[in-house]
């Protein structure tokens, strides 16, 4: 069954090429397609395009299909091109020609759009949840290890004293900014394209505001041409936000690989979380972090991939847009798998104590010694030269531990403030509004 079927059948090769991986990917969109149809038929009844009796029967069957579509064993029938055709086929098998009425006043184009937006919205919520879980772990580790000093580096050269509390906390705050960009992406996603039809609206007197409320969208994509133009742009905006989270995880993973290296030896993990070598029995390889780094670097390329797919496309629908699903849909599983695996690793991290007692780290304290001289009234440049000379003469020495009290420093991590900002940004997503709307739609 094909909604676009003409009298002359397509060549098998053309059909196979144009369908691509849509059938497999559409399984993931199935529940969202049904939700869109439920909202659409409710609206159709209010403008008298279907009767209330038809609405009741269609709703009853669509809700059954929703639960079937949410099951892990849901499949498209042989010969059915996509999820939109599958849902309509199932309805016509159960209700006869009445099932065909769900396609009134819409196109497969706006069905795809609303399915993708509902899917993206759901996956963003899942990603926010996993990011918050990992954030909480980082904050707890930051507090736990705030007294454990760590060498700080610039240019991969010894620089100044840091701490594990500062290190874990840095990545926690990085995730806050990552969710700021994801919340902006969510705002773009959470607008209703349904009713734009093929991209030029409908001559039926449809009520697009009603379907917006029924599906829990914050607002409409008002201009029907822009609603179609938004496909590709929306995915690119989301991909950019995912790439930010990926960037945080990739950098953290690189640090972990370095810190586990025997020449650093700052951290360790239980044997069961690292891998060995086929010929070197001493090896404890950070394969998990290496793969997180690689997966995340691939996600960082995703915005560019989508941008190139859509480059120079004029307004209106083009089949090029179909390929974006093959890039954006797997990215969510990848980023969430990486968040969860990073969480597993850091939940079992062992931090080496008293690292800076080692003689090789003594020059980390050169700035501390310069500052001590400044506090005694010596101009900074003179103090800098004095300490520099002692380093060249190999007479440099230091005493005590660093005392940094300003906001965000070793002695004042400000984790409570970082948590406050994270709470504020998560509240802006307002996921509860969506949950209430969909529960009412399915009740």
Q: Give the CATH number for residue 313.
A: 1.20.200.10
Residues 194 and 236 in one domain: yes
- In this prediction, residue 278 carries a pLDDT of 58
What is the extent of the structural domain holding 95? 12-103
Phi, psi (rounded to 5 degrees) for 214? -65, -35
Q: Of 27, 26, 10, which Cα lies nearest the Cα of 18?
A: 10
Q: Is 80 within a domain?
A: yes
Does some domain include residue 172?
Answer: yes
Same domain, 46 and 185: no
Domain identity same for 363 and 353 = no
pLDDT for the residue numbered 12:
72
- My answer on whether 172 and 282 are in the same domain is yes
Along the chain (443 residues), what's the average pLDDT of each consecutive run of 10 residues? 56 70 85 97 97 97 95 87 90 94 92 96 98 98 96 94 97 98 98 95 96 98 95 97 98 97 94 74 83 97 96 90 93 97 97 93 91 93 94 88 89 96 97 97 95
In a domain, 403, yes or no: no
Residue 409: inside a domain: no
270 in a domain, yes or no? yes
Angle at 188 between CA 183 and CA 192, to 5 degrees: 130
274: left (phi over 0), alpha (psi -120 to 50) or beta: beta
Residues 239 and 367 placed together within one structural domain of the fold: no
Residues 114 and 81 in one domain: no
Indicate if 57 and 93 belong to the same structural domain: yes
226 assigned to some structural domain: yes
Which distant-in-sequence residues (6+ apart) come within 8 Å of 361 by Cβ?
151, 158, 355
- Quote the pLDDT of residue 81: 82
pLDDT at 66: 96
Long-range contacts from 147-152, C-beta under 8 angstroms, 24+ separation: 148/351, 148/353, 148/355, 149/354, 149/355, 149/356, 149/401, 149/402, 149/410, 150/266, 150/355, 150/356, 151/266, 151/355, 151/356, 151/361, 151/364, 152/364
Question: What does the DSSP 8-state code read for residue 356?
Answer: G
Tell me, yes or no, whether 167 and 271 share the same domain. Answer: yes
Note whether residue 407 is domain-resident: no
* Angle at the Cα of 329 from the Cα atoms of 326 and 331, rounded to 5 degrees: 100
Q: Are residues 377 and 324 in the same domain?
A: no
Show the CA angle centred on residue 234, arms to residues 233 and 239, nearest 5°: 95
By C-alpha distance, which of 280, 278, 193, 173 is closest to 233?
193
Could you tell me the CA-to-CA distances from 12 to 15, 16, 17, 23, 24 in Å, in that order? 5, 6, 8, 16, 18
Structure-block tokens of residue 54:
């038809």
* pLDDT for 340: 98
Query: What is the number of alpha carbons within 13 Å of residue 249 lying toward its C-beta?
Result: 36
**Which residues partner with 149 through β-bridges?**
163
C-alpha count within 13 angstroms, C-beta hemisphere, residue 320: 19
- Domain count of the chain? 3
Say if residue 168 is in the same domain as residue 312: yes
Residue at token pair 């009603």:
210
Q: Are 81 and 10 in contact (CB under 8 A)?
A: no
If we measure between CA atoms, which residue out of 349, 178, 334 comes closest to residue 248?
A: 178
Same domain, 425 and 339: yes
Q: Are residues 29 and 93 in the same domain?
A: yes
Is residue 404 situated within a structural domain? no
């Amino acid at each position: 069954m094909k909604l676009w079927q003409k009298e002359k059948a397509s060549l098998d090769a053309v059909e196979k090429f144009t369908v691509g991986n849509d059938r497999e990917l559409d399984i993931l969109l199935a529940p969202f397609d049904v939700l869109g149809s439920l909202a659409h038929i409710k609206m159709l009844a209010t403008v008298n395009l279907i009767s209330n009796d038809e609405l009741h029967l269609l709703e009853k069957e669509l809700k059954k299909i929703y639960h079937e579509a949410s099951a892990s064993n849901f499949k498209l029938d042989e010969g059915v091109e996509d999820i939109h055709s599958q849902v309509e086929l199932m309805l016509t098998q159960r209700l006869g020609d009445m099932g065909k009425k769900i396609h009134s006043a819409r196109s497969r184009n706006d069905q795809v759009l609303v399915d993708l937006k509902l899917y993206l919205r759901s996956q963003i919520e899942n990603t926010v949840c996993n990011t918050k879980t990992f954030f909480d772990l980082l904050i707890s580790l930051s507090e736990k290890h705030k007294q454990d000093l760590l060498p700080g580096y610039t240019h991969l050269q010894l620089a100044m004293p840091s701490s594990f509390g500062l290190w874990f906390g840095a990545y926690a705050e990085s995730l806050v900014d990552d969710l700021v960009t994801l919340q902006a992406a969510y705002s773009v996603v959470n607008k209703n394209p349904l009713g734009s039809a093929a991209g030029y609206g409908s001559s039926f007197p449809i009520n697009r505001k009603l379907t917006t409320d029924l599906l829990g969208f914050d607002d409409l994509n008002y201009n029907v041409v822009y609603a179609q133009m938004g496909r590709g742009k929306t995915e690119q905006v989301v991909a950019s936000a995912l790439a930010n989270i990926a960037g945080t995880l990739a950098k953290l993973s690189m640090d972990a690989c370095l810190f586990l290296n025997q020449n650093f030896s700052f951290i360790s993990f239980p044997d069961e979380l690292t891998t060995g070598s086929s010929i070197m029995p001493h090896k404890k390889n950070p394969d998990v972090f290496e793969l997180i780094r690689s997966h995340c670097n691939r996600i960082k390329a995703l915005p560019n991939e989508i941008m190139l797919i859509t480059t120079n496309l004029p307004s209106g629908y083009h089949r090029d847009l179909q390929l974006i699903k093959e890039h954006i849909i797997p990215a969510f599983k990848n980023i969430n798998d990486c968040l969860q695996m990073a969480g597993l690793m850091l939940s079992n991290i062992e931090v080496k104590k008293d690292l800076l007692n080692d003689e090789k780290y003594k020059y980390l304290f050169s700035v501390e010694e310069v500052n001590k001289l400044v506090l005694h009234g010596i101009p900074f440049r003179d103090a800098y030269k004095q300490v520099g000379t002692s380093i060249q003469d190999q007479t440099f020495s230091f005493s005590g531990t660093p005392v940094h009290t300003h906001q965000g420093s070793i002695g004042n991590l400000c984790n409570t403030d970082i948590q406050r900002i994270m709470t504020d940004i998560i509240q802006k997503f307002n996921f509860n509004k969506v949950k209430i709307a969909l529960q009412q739609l399915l009740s």
